[in-house]
Amino acid sequence: MKQQQQEEELLKNEFEKIFSNENWKRRGFYTKKELAFFKKLILFKISSTEECIKNLRDNLGLNSQKVDPSFKGISDIDEVIYENPHIMRNQENFLRGLKGALTRFEQGLYDGKSYKTGKIIPPKRLFAVPHTTFLVEEKMKV
C-alpha cells in the first residue's frame, strides 16, 4: 500500500510538471508525451483498482473456498463494505472504464477529447477520471 501511495505521489508530481504551462489549452490537443502520461496513469489506476477489488473480496471472504454466510468483518471498514455491496460494483465499473480507455489507447483512439463536442478535456479531469469521454458540463447534462 505504501508503494502505491509513493507511485501516486510521483504521478502527481509528473502531472504538475507536464501540465503546469497549460499549452494544451492553447493548442487544443495533447502531445504524444502528454498522452503517454495518461496511459501511464490508466495503467497505474488499473493496477490499484484491481488490488482494491481483491482486498474487498478478501474482506468479504469471497476469495476463499468456503464462504460463511454469517461472515461479518470486525473493523468499521469491513462493516461498511459488508453493508454496502455497491462499493464492489462501483470499483468493478471503474475498472471496466479504465480497461476501455486502455483499449482506446491501443487502437489509437484515445485523444483526451470529448466524444460529444470534440473539445479537449482538461487534464485535471483526466487525472481524476482518465477514462472519461465527456467534459464535466456535458456529463452533467447526460
Report how far residue 105's alpha carbon sits from residue 51's, in angstroms, rounded to the nearest whole number.
22
Burial group, residue 45, by CB count within 10 angstroms (0-12, 13-18, 19+): buried
Determine the 3-state secondary structure of 98 from DSSP: helix
Q: Is residue 67 pLDDT above 50, yes or no?
A: no
Q: What is the pLDDT of residue 142?
A: 60
Tens digits of per-residue pLDDT, 97-141? Answer: 999 999 999 999 999 999 999 999 999 999 999 999 999 888 787
Q: What is the pLDDT of residue 89?
A: 85
pLDDT-based confidence at 83, cuts 50/70/90?
A: low
Q: Is residue 93 pLDDT above 80, yes or no?
A: yes
Closest by CA position to 45, among listed 128, 135, 133: 128
Contact status, residue 124 vs residue 25, Cβ threshold 8 Å: no
Tens digits of per-residue pLDDT, 47-61? Answer: 999 998 888 777 766
Tens digits of per-residue pLDDT, 14-46? Answer: 999 999 988 998 999 999 999 999 999 999 999
Contact status, residue 111 vs residue 35, Cβ threshold 8 Å: yes
Q: Whole-model pTM?
A: 0.79
CATH superfamily of 2-141: DksA, coiled-coil domain (1.20.120.910)
Report how far residue 142's alpha carbon sits from residue 13's, in angstroms, rounded to the nearest whole number.
33
pLDDT-based confidence at 80, cuts 50/70/90?
A: low
Q: Residue ranges per domain, the chain?
A: 2-141
Burial group, residue 110, by CB count within 10 angstroms (0-12, 13-18, 19+): buried
